[in-house]
Each structure stands twice: as structure tokens, then as C-alpha cells.
Amino acid sequence: MKKPLENLNHLNLQNLKNEALHLTENFGDNLEILHSGKEKASKLVGELLQNFKNRKNKPQTDDDNKGLTVPLTMTFLGGGSFGTAMANLASRNGCDATLWVRDKRTVKAMQKTHINKKYLPDFKLDKRLKFSHDLEEAVKGKDIIFVAIPSSGFREILQKIAPFITSQVVISLTKGKETFALMSEIIKEELPNVAFGVMSGPNLAKEIMNNMPTATVIASESEAVRHAVQVALHGAFFRVFGSDDVVGVELGGALKNIYAIAMGMAGAYEVGDNTKAMILTRALAEMSRFGVHAGANPLTFLGLSGVGDLYATCASPLSRNYQVGNMLGKGLSLEQAVKKLGQTAEGINTIQQVHEKASKDGIYMPITHALYDIIFNEQAPFGVALDLMEKGFRSDVEFVMPHDKVNEDLK
């Protein structure tokens, strides 16, 4: 049987080469402008130009491939905006990438047009990217399986792929929560023998498709898994950082959706920048508090999967969670907002899960409870916001000074 990730050490060259070809073909002139005279131009861009500038417009020959071994093989489950964006990135990086989509007609259309008409209609996908609706064919014998299915269908898809899993690594790209379970916990329950990881960060799909630089975090207890994902996805526009705090990274991605809804709502009420900063910072306090309760390291929330993703999602009208919050703030009902969005907004479900868990375990999550009251108990936002402001004296960063130390001498 093939060992997992056996061709990993050979991929860097393949990866670099394909990235460089793509860059020089599509952005050659801009890269040269960026490179020339700019000390800050990245080392990678410099190396790529050095190695490949003479190859511009030169067709690939068999000689070019000498000494290179087969690329990593991988499948992305879920043909929404994120699964498509990540599959496209991997394919551009030279990986043998397949996008699995449940709808046969969509697959046929994508094979023909290389466009994901429903979720990313404005983008032509890499011509080497493969498409499949056959789960067995898509999963069998691959090195890595990335799962970009919304949390509501996550367990079900793992159950479906279980018969085809041998030595594949499984990576969750999903930023949500099932009832009382994180995606990593579902992987452990459904596929107890696989090596796995979770990936999360400020990764708005449309920005990635537009080659706007960003970064993400791959979290796994396995160094080989972290390295494999870095090799597969790391490129000139997408840096992949590593972490071994799986729970912390995963919770950063799931919890920030709650606060993106809050910020969308705040945007509808045209609150000031001080207010936005306060919401964002207290959101981070809630996230890290909830994370620590679940066994995460609070410092993880200072990283890309914490404050990075929180900022991106709370500040961007591209975020579907922000959009839902904004529509709610403008007076639409939840049903109307979700229908109008027509895509996944994980935060709605996450608010309910976290509200329930925090109430049960006594975790102080005032913003989450406030949102729950507004959305599910139909309480007036203004009154709820006033209540939030009257929560009494508390410590700013409880990991520096615990809350029970506030005004301790006066007690």
C-alpha cells in the first residue's frame, strides 16, 4: 500500500515551478515592476523570476519535467465558494487536484466551462483542475482529502467517504459547529484512524480568487500533516502557517462568525469606529474565554485564525455572516435574510450552539447571548445593546488580570 504523503519531499520543486509559470504567464510584467528596485519584494517572487524569467511564453517540454516526481493528489469535497477557491489554488500550485460536487449537472458544466456558475461565476478555474461527482473515484487513493462542506453536512459526508479511506489525510476547512461537536471531534469519531488537521484563517474566497495576498493556519498534531498542507497550498499569494492547537484554530474560525453577524448589524445602525473596535475586542475576549474552556491556548486567538479571521470577517461586506447581520439590522427577518443570501452563513447555527453550551457550562459570553436574544427571542436591539453596556466592572484581559481581581480591595 502507498505510504501517506510518500512523494512529499519532491513536491516543493514541482509546486514552485508551477506557481512560477502561472505567475510569469499571467502577471509577468507586474511582477517585474514589483521586483525591480523594491527591496520589499518577496524573496519568493525574486527566486521565481530568477529561475523562470527566461521561460516566459516557452511551452513546457518533457525535459522540463525530468527529475520531478508525481505531485500530491488531493480532493476537495464541496463545490461552494471555498472548496472551489482552495481546489483552484492547489491545482495552480501543481497538485493533482479534484473538486467533488454532489450535483452531476454542475460537474458536467464545470468540466465544460471551468467556471463555477453558482458560487464563483466571475472566475475561470485552472485548466488542470478536475471535477467529479463520484465520491469513490474522488476519494480513493488520494493523499489528502479537504472537506469544505458546511457543518450541517460534515458528519454525513465523512460517513459516506469512510469505506474509501485507507491512508488519506483528512483536513477540515469548515468553520462551524455541530451540536456540541467540533469538526475535528467528528473526524475522530467517524474516521478514528486517519491523520487529520483543520485549516482556518482570514480567507474570503473571492479575494483568494482575485490573487489578493493572504495567509492561513494549518493546525494538526502531526508535523507531516502540517507540512503536507503547507506544501500543497503555500504560494506567492497564500502563506500557510502552522499550529498544533487544533481546538484553538478551529474555534477561532467557528466563533468569529457570531461576531461578524454582530458587526453586520452594527454596520446597519451606522455605529462609530470606537464602537466597532469595542465589539471586535470584546468578541476576541469571548472567543478566547470559550476556547480556554474547551482546552485551547488563549494565545492562539492572537494569531491569523483568531484576530486575523475575526477582523477580516467583521470588516468585510464579502462575508456572508456580515451580510446576514447587516440584513437583520436593516429589518429583514432571519428567514428573509438567509433566503436572500442563498449561501452558507455558519454563524446563525453557531450562535445557538454557543449560547446553549455557554449557558450550560457557565461561560460568560454576553455578546453571544445578546445576539441570541435579538435573533431568536425577538428582543429590541437597542435595549439589548444598552444592557450590554451596563454589565459592570470587569478586567480588560482576564489572562493578565482575572475578573475577580477587579476592585478586589473594595470587596
Ligand X SMILES: O=C(CO)COP(=O)(O)O
Ligand Y SMILES: NC(=O)C1=CN([C@@H]2O[C@H](COP(=O)(O)OP(=O)(O)OC[C@H]3O[C@@H](n4cnc5c(N)ncnc54)[C@H](OP(=O)(O)O)[C@@H]3O)[C@@H](O)[C@H]2O)C=CC1
Among all residues, which ones are annotated catalytic? 256
Residues 318-337: x where in contact with ligand X by CB under 6 A, - otherwise, as a string: -xxx----------------
Residues 340-379: x where in contact with ligand X by CB under 6 A, - otherwise, as a string: ----------------------------------------
Measured at the alpha carbon of residue 92, what is the angle toward residues 183 and 112, in degrees to the nearest 5? 90
Q: Which residues bind ligand Y (CB under 6 A)?
A: 78-83, 101-103, 118-119, 148-151, 153, 156-157, 173-176, 203-205, 343-344, 346
Q: Which is nearer to ligand X, 319 or 353 (CB)?
A: 319
Distance of CA 34 to the CA centre of its chain: 28
Q: Which is nearer to ligand Y, 21 or 247 (CB)?
A: 247
Interacting residue with ligand X among 143, 190, 245, 309 (CB under 6 A): 309
- Closest CA relative to residue 173, chosen from 190, 192, 157, 189: 157
CB 202 within 8 A of CB 179: no
Q: Which is nearer to ligand X, 151 or 313 (CB)?
A: 313
CA distance readout (Å), 373 to 155, 270, 356, 383, 387: 29, 21, 12, 11, 12
**Closest distance between ligand X and the C-beta of residue 215, in Å?**
11
Per partner kind, with CB cut-offs from 5 to 8 A, the member of ligand Y, ligand X, none near residue 350 is none
CA distance readout (Å), 179 to 78, 154, 186, 289, 352: 21, 12, 11, 19, 9
Question: Is 305 an interacting residue with respect to ligand X (CB under 6 A)?
Answer: no
CB 130 within 8 A of CB 159: no
Question: Is 240 an interacting residue with respect to ligand X (CB under 6 A)?
Answer: no
Per partner kind, with CB cut-offs from 5 to 8 A, the member of ligand Y, ligand X, none near residue 190 is none
Element (DSSP H or E) covering residue 65:
none
Beta partners for 100?
77, 132
**Closest distance between ligand Y and the C-beta of residue 356, in Å?**
19
Per partner kind, with CB cut-offs from 5 to 8 A, the member of ligand X, ligand Y, none near residue 300 is none
Q: Which is nearer to ligand X, 190 or 309 (CB)?
A: 309
Residues numbered 171 to 210 that lie near ligand X (CB under 6 A) are 175, 202-204
Beta partners for 241?
217
CA distance readout (Å), 330 to 173, 267, 306, 337: 31, 9, 28, 10
Q: Which is nearer to ligand Y, 31 or 107 (CB)?
A: 107
Listed in sequence order, the residues at least 6 apart from 10 whose beta carbon sits closer than 8 Å to its beta carbon are: 68, 69
Q: Which residues bind ligand X (CB under 6 A)?
A: 175, 202-204, 257, 260, 309, 312-313, 319-321
